[in-house]
A and B are shown apart, each in its own frame.
Chain A
Amino acid sequence: MAGQTIEFKGKTLELDEDGFLQDPDLWDEEIAEFFAKEESIPELTEEHWKVINYIRDYYLQFGIAPMIRKIGKACDMPVKHMYQIFPTGLDKGACRCAGLPKPTGCV
């Protein structure tokens, strides 16, 4: 399966095979909300945004997603709880909502 191009609120978005945004610069909060629905999150709450914003800021600074334990510490949330609010996982659901490319490697 190849990636796809979608039209979203006047923007043309290239997505990879797993639905991740190809160009992180095109990200906005509405895209996060749109992705969230596909990641089994009915509505993004304050807690979700805390995690999403941290991941995104870290990515913009370092060019990679933060370690999960780091997210927990920075957002003051147990890892287990983060997996509850992002049921498809932090590497998939949270990173996708934050507009990051899909994490790869031996993870």
Chain B
Amino acid sequence: MADMKIEVPRLQRDAFADKQCHRAHADHMETINLPPELVDNWQQRALEKMEQLLGRYRSLRDYLDICVRCGSCADKCPFFLGTGDPKNMPVARAELLRKVYRYYFTAAGWLPDLGRAEPLTEEVLNEWYTYFYQCSECRRCSVFCPYGIDTAEITMAAREIMASIGVANKYITEVLANVYRTGNNIGIPAPAWADNLEFLEDDIQEDTGVDVKMPVDQEGADVLLVPPSADNFVNLDTMMGYGKVFHAAGISWTTATYASEAANFGLFLDFNNMKKVNKRIIDAARRLKVKRIVFGECGHAWRVALYMNTLNGPLDFLEVPNPIHCTEFTLDLLKRGAFKLDKSANDEYVVTYHDPCNIARAGGPLEPPRELIRASCNRFEEMPENTTRINTFCCGGGGGLLSDEHMDVRMAGAKMRAMAVQTTNANYLATMCAICKAQLKKVNTHYKLGVEVEGVHGLFGRALVLNGNQEV
């Protein structure tokens, strides 16, 4: 499909300068082992953290050093295109960190003529908090950078520095505290987790007459499914879709209440929390003696999952390959003839597909979700090429921005995605990330897209004929 025309907005200086997320609560910060509020010697502590990160990640130092301000990234960012605020150009956003880096860590600090350098003042910190939380770390900018700079890593570093001195947003920190308390982002305690799955079993039974089990903490199952908890709370068709797939293929599986969440919000905040959240999935797999871990439809979960072994490995107690993405898992079974599908079950839909940024720009899967969609329905339309696959536009709510007070930023950030959906005849917007789904439901209302937003497995599950399956 041809490219979508993207107009560069008129610059509006500081248009979004006053849009900030709610600040973290002290109790959530303490739960996730971060300072409850801005520490007294914050400048010194922030610079120590920056020095530590520069030492740990050669990439970060390179990214800060090598930008030539060519501006290739500027009109690629959904948040700049949606807000018109020049500080949302990736190059300008990164400059907020670069100027401080230059001041303290390069010769520009004592020879100001060498380049823009500025000390870390309260004003700069405030700007960091504003603009590094108007970036969803979607990495679209990095696709177009001729130097290969990954600006998302600069945002991540800035957020990690801020977190280390007690500055973070409420949404991310509350969610992380929920994960440590209940095993998942939403804060669903184990009995409610099981109750929800039982409800879905009844729903499938009523709908199809087939007894599909949705297991919890089943020791010795072959597969541990780690879905985003939102699938067992709002994206129910997706959750039932997984259950139907396992049932039809005759594979024993389970969910784990200790790891009832795929998402890893540590990615949006700091390394230590990312590692800790990742570890509990491996611990659950070991405890339940499963052979494989299959990840559900969650974007950034997959991004972290790719480094599972490096972060907390070895995963040598599992069968290779590991972990597996649910769409690759289901597609493999489909190709081996495990399923009978009735596409007409989805005849009311014209489907289009939104690539979640953390999947599309982390090496895929790109084609497996599309193949599953084509197998499940008769009418599938792609959005324009410059808005799909590695060029995908963020939904506008990723990276820890999915909170109500940030709605203006979210809707502005979603403008390009909304325009792309409007180029199609779709009435079903499929995607495989719980943040995307939650965000796109709001985008649908805001931009009057007239679509239903659900998962790839939701669509697949509807088309799956449960009593007509063959042995694999």
Which residues of A line the B interface, CB within 8 A?
A: 1-2, 17-18, 62-64, 67-70, 73, 92, 103-107
Contacts and interface: CB of A to CB of B under 8 A. Distances in A.
Contacts of A2: 23
B405 A17 contact: yes
A103 B199 contact: no
Nearest to A58: B192
A67 B233 CA distance: 5
B402 interface: yes
B contacts with A: majority SS = helix
B185 A105 contact: yes
B185 A67 contact: no
A67 B263 contact: no
B358 to A, nearest CB: 12
B191 A62 contact: yes
B189 A104 contact: no
21 contacts: A17-B22, A17-B405, A18-B404, A63-B187, A63-B192, A64-B186, A64-B189, A67-B236, A68-B234, A69-B199, A69-B203, A104-B171, A104-B185, A104-B186, A104-B187, A104-B403, A105-B185, A105-B229, A106-B229, A106-B435, A107-B186
Nearest to B199: A70
A107 B438 contact: yes
Interface string B173-188: 0110010000011111
A107 B192 CA distance: 17
Contact of A105 (B22, B187, B191, B192): B187
Q: Which of B178, B230, B233, B402 gathers the greatest number of chain A CB atoms within 10 Å?
A: B233
Given A17-B405, A62-B192, A105 B170 contact: no
Interface of B: 22-23, 170-171, 174-175, 178, 184-189, 191-192, 195-196, 199, 203, 228-230, 233-234, 236, 263, 298, 402-405, 434-435, 437-438
Contact of B178 (A1, A62, A105): A105
Contacts of B437: 106
Contacts of A1: 22, 405
Nearest to A1: B22
Given A104-B175, A106-B185, 10 more contacts: A1-B22, A17-B22, A17-B170, A62-B189, A67-B233, A73-B199, A103-B186, A104-B178, A106-B186, A106-B438
Nearest to B403: A104
Contacts of A92: 404
A contacts with B: majority SS = loop
A104 B174 contact: yes
A69 B186 contact: no
B228 A106 contact: yes
Given A104-B186, A106-B185, A18 B405 contact: yes
B63 to A, nearest CB: 29
Contacts of A68: 234
A73 B198 CA distance: 14
Q: Which of A18, A67, A68, A107 gathers the greatest number of chain B CB atoms within 10 Å?
A: A107
Nearest to B192: A62
Contacts of A70: 196, 199
Contacts of A73: 199
Nearest to B298: A106
Contacts of B178: 104-105
Contact of A107 (B195, B203, B230): B230
Contact of A62 (B185, B195, B403): B195
Nearest to B233: A67
Q: Which of A64, A92, A105, A106 gathers the greatest number of chain B CB atoms within 10 Å?
A: A106
Nearest to B174: A104
A64 B187 contact: yes
B196 A105 contact: no
A106 to B, nearest CB: 4
B195 to A, nearest CB: 7
A106 B405 contact: no
B402 A63 contact: no
A7 to B, nearest CB: 22
Contacts of A67: 196, 199, 233-234, 236
Contacts of A69: 199, 203, 236
Contacts of A64: 186-189, 192
Nearest to A69: B236
Contacts of A63: 187, 189, 192
Nearest to B230: A106
A104 B230 CA distance: 10
A16 to B, nearest CB: 8
Nearest to B196: A67
A69 B402 CA distance: 22
A105 B199 contact: no
Contacts of B188: 64
Contacts of B195: 62
A13 B435 CA distance: 32
Nearest to B177: A104
A107 B195 CA distance: 19
Contacts of B405: 1, 17-18
A103 B185 CA distance: 10
A95 to B, nearest CB: 12
A68 B393 CA distance: 29
Given A1-B22, A1-B405, A69-B236, A105 B230 contact: yes
Contacts of B404: 18, 92
